[in-house]
Structure 1
Amino acid sequence: MAISTGCQPPTEVGQPALFAKPVMSYAGLLKPTAISVKPLSLKPISYLHGEPRVMWEQDEIDQMIVNENLEYAVVGKFSYGWPNIQDLRKLIPKQCELKGEYKIGFLSNRHVLIRETLLGDYVHLLSKPTFYITQRNWSFPMRTLKWDPMFDPEEETTTTIAWISFPSLPPNFYKGISIFISSGSG
């Protein structure tokens, strides 16, 4: 075992430092960093080729997300029809088993924005590939997608959640280095 001189935990001899970092849980990966609600000041309008524009810094965008309660926002996508928005506001919390407070709003012709207050509800909505919203003997499939500030309803998302299972994997192979380094790398 190598001796560590800094704040990092010691790594095994021959083990890449990349895998020495602590492994984060699925919920930890989804959880946004905590920022308190702060008001934002008005931004000056500038012009580019005669077109007005407002420039925002990344920390200001992050603050807007917190101010608008979008940290735990999920997009619900209906590909084959959907109930009206008033019915969805009643059906989604019951049929998706939301436990905390929520707000559901119309985002586009096939998308709704679901803003939860509990991390558990957020993880639950993203953990299942499809929810079936049932109304009057009709079932409407709703896929859930992680919302981000660059969400465009006209484009398919490039982010997806994948569950990977290794049945009967011996415990000595649970460490990341065993799973993520392929034997074919040169």
Structure 2
Amino acid sequence: MVTQSPQLIPEVEIMLRPLKVFDGVPYVSFTKEEIERSAQPFKFSLVMKFMRQRPSLDIIRAFIRSRWGLDSKPVVSAMLKARSVFVRFSNELDFIKAFSRETCDVEGVSYHIFQWYPEFDEENESPLVPIWITLPGLPPNFYHESFLRNITMPLGQYILQDNSTRCATRTDGARVCIKMDASKNPLDSFWIGIPHQATSRLQEVVYETLPTYCYRCRMQGHNVSTCKWEGGMKTEERYQGEGGREKKVWVRKEARKSAGHREQDRAEISKRVEVVDLEEGLLNKNDDIGEETGE
């Protein structure tokens, strides 16, 4: 039975310690073990980062409930950034189902999905993403989950195999979802067994989707050669769209601008981006007014 009222997270007790001061600045700190313990209630959590103004929390909750096929109801909450949503699951199976979904949109609004961890930063997208791959011609005796966990280690971390692989109803290859680092060049093949031995197998890898990742601005969707950031800044231009609504596009900064002009541009861009974020946040808050305070 799924409870309708919010549940308290398990309390993690630590010792009260004296306040510390460094160069006249007070601070608090925690051990690695304490941080790991504090993160335990959130170990099955994901972050949905929408590509444009996100739907209201009620719409997202209803969509998850009706489309994701979960065994229990997750806790869905807003984050600091207007387009980000925190989803906390109560069990690993639901977490895996959500993380490995092949369609990433809610009511037509696309999102990127990330596994949450204590150091998660909303400003920088993680390069670790779920990817569906096919291993053509992999013998069906390797379709066992424990074997696939080992076989996919050169590529990333095993998440899930599809039902036809689990049931061996297709034996032309295994289809598996893995978590891999999109910032690294993907392997197109690897060896099962000692390389170049008669009893070994050179296994081909087919990636169904392979998102690009830019290590300069730490964002998905493009690589460094097409990045619109220059010197840590990205400029925007606005124009009037259909119906008179203002739209924005990102463009590369002109390298010939003087340092003074660049500083002036940075200040202006910062103000304009803050206004856009504020407007978007207010729209989302208005959409969320009247929603239940819990799940």
TM-based fold match above 0.5? yes
Tell me how many residue pairs correspond in the alignment.
142
- Partner residue of 2:57? 85
What residue is the counterpart of 1:140 in the other structure? 109
| Deviation at residue 181 of structure 1 after TM alignment | 6.3
* CA RMSD after TM alignment: 2.7
Q: 1:99 to 1:171 in 2, by over 3 A?
A: closer
Task: State the 1:180 CA deviation.
Answer: 7.7
Q: Separation in 2 of the partners of 1:180 and 1:76?
A: 38
Residue identity over aligned pairs, in percent, reads 26
- The answer to whether residue 155 in structure 2 is matched with residue 155 in structure 1 is no
TM-score normalised by L of structure 1: 0.65
86, 96, 109: which one aligns with 1:123: 96
**Deviation of the 1:182 alpha carbon:** 5.7
Q: Which one is further off, 84-93 or 43-52?
A: 84-93
CA contact (8 A) 2:39 2:117 kept: no
SS in 2 for 1:166: strand
- 1:95 is the counterpart of 2:64: no
Deviation digits for residues 24-70 of structure 1 (CA, Å, limit 9, x no counterpart): xxxxxxxxxxxx8642233432112222211111110111112xx20
The answer (yes or no) to whether the contact 1:101–1:118 under 8 Å persists in 2 is no
Judging changes above 3 Å, is the alpha-carbon distance between structure 1 residues 179 and 98 closer, same or farther for their aligned structure 2 residues? same
Q: Contact 1:173 / 1:179 at 8 angstroms: preserved in 2?
A: no
One of 110, 124, 128 as aligned partner of 2:83: 110
Q: Does 1:179 align with 2:192?
A: yes
Contiguous gaps of at least 5 residues in structure 1: 1-35
Cα distance change, pair 64–173 in 1 and its aligned pair in 2 (3 A): closer
SS of the aligned residue for 1:161 comes to strand
Secondary structure (helix, strand or coil) at the match of 1:52 reads strand
> SS at the partner of 2:76?
strand
Is the 1:127–1:161 Cα contact (8 Å) retained in structure 2? yes
TM-score with structure 2 setting the length: 0.43
Matched residues in 2 for 1:49 and 1:129: separation? 50
Change (3 A) 1:161 1:51: same
Q: Which runs of 5 or more residues in structure 2 are unaligned?
A: 1-9, 152-189, 197-295
**2:203 alignment partner in structure 1:** none
1:143–1:93 Cα change, 3 Å: farther
Whose radius of gyration is greater, 1 or 2? Answer: 2
1:182, 1:160 → 2: CA distance? 28
| Residues 72 and 90 in structure 2, CA contact (< 8 A), matched pair in contact too | yes
Counterpart residue number, 1:48: 22
Q: 1:181 to 1:61 in 2, by over 3 A?
A: farther
Contact 1:98 1:121 in 2 (8 A): yes
Contact 1:130 1:143 in 2 (8 A): no
Indicate the residue corresponding to 1:65 in structure 2: 39
CA 1:115–1:43: 2 relative to 1, 3 Å: farther
Q: Is the 8 A contact 1:125 1:144 kept in 2?
A: no
Distance verdict in 2 for CA 1:180–1:76, change over 3 Å:
farther
